[in-house]
Structure 1
Amino acid sequence: MSKTLFLDYDGVLHPASVWFNNGEIQLDSEDENLFLFCWAPLLESILDDEDPQGQIGIVLSTTWGHRYGWKVAAKRLTPGLQNRVKGGTTGYPQSRGRQIEMYAEDVRMPHNDWVAIDDDDYWWPERHLDKLVKTDPDLGILCKNTQQLLRLKLRELLLR
């Protein structure tokens, strides 16, 4: 896996309204159709459609990774997504964009070999904004426009 998708969880794979309470993780929603990682199968489907050869690996860039370690956090994903996970960012509480930038520098990742999907663009390095697929915190990848942009970015990534 020579290309990378930096993946946030909250606001991407389920709504962002997640609470860590006494070791328990809860989604704050009264909608029974919404649950933790409810949209993970959708991301798996998008990756399988756009990258059937499995060239794109996943690096977790989520507070879940900082809280539990990326290996434990990865176990919450679908098996297909788990198979793509190759690491996790560090550097918390730096901004997410800076954490990703530090990871890419540490592993000597070429500048154009990654994209990120996240609901948070706070303090995102301007030089990397073109690699960010910003989600609506309530809709994550369920939003059709977000899906289209992610598919486009993944196709572009594979052409580099």
Structure 2
Amino acid sequence: MPCTLYLGFEGVLHPNQVFFSTGGLPKLKAPGHKLFENNHFLEQILEAVPDTPIVIHSWWVYYVGYRAARERLPAVAQRQVIGATWPRNRVTRFKSKEPTPRSDWLIQDLARRRPQSVAIVDYDYRLVPTQLKDVAFILHGTQGLCSQEQCDALITLLREAPACSPLVPLGRKGTPASASNT
């Protein structure tokens, strides 16, 4: 079974200085950069590891919806997207009060999907559950996925990610459920 890639957009496919507003398209506040400027590196990775299922793990889904977020990816990536960590559909997202932290979306999605192995690519190490830090690929938030060396390292991670052994049911903040209930 291929490794499931949990893909952040902010700080990965473009700098993390994105301004989100309800009902409008996100705007990048990083002079000299553009949204999704690193998509070509994602394409290279997926050409090397073509059966990689992708789960979108990004605020883009909350603000513009799942389909619109997926459509920002290169075609090869769009075909491999199997879902998103944001747990609600487009209709309900603005009816809810404050959204839960993005780290909670990841924890809930991992518990629901129970992938055999995962790789997480993001810009913030704090958003990764403790027991998955060894399969997290953390990038510099203002540059993101911007070099061939990073692509090669992520390809290696996707090919060699250990199986979740077994994925411990997760409680809040990435701790095992039994530990979070004490």
Other-structure match for 2:73: 77
Match of 1:6 in 2: 6
Q: Distance in 1 between matches of 2:145 and 2:127?
A: 22
What amino acid does structure 1 have at the position aligned with 2:39?
Answer: A
Unpaired segments of 5 or more residues in structure 2? 88-98, 164-182
Offset, 1:99 = 2.2
Backbone CA RMSD of aligned residues: 2.1
**Runs of 4+ residues over 6 Å off in structure 1:** none
Q: Secondary structure at the match of 2:53?
A: strand
Q: Which has the larger radius of gyration?
A: 2
Which ranges of structure 1 fall in alignment gaps of 5 or more residues? none
**Contact 2:13/2:145 (CA < 8 Å) preserved in 1?**
yes
Q: 1:37-48, aligned counterparts within 5 Å?
A: 37-48=36-47
Contact conserved, 2:3 with 2:158, CA < 8 A, in 1? no
How many residues end up aligned between the 2 structures?
Answer: 151
CA distance in 1 between counterparts of 2:114 and 2:5 reads 15
Partner residue, 1:133? 137
Alignment of 1:92-131 (within 5 A): 92-96=99-103, 98-110=104-116, 113-131=117-135
Q: Given the alignment of the two structures, is residue 89 of structure 1 paired with residue 89 of structure 2, yes or no?
A: no
Higher strand share: 1
Q: Quote the sequence identity (%).
A: 26
Q: TM-score, structure 2 length as denominator?
A: 0.74
Residue 94 of structure 1 aligns to which amino acid in structure 2? P
Structure 1 length normalisation: TM-score? Answer: 0.83
SS in 2 for 1:36: coil
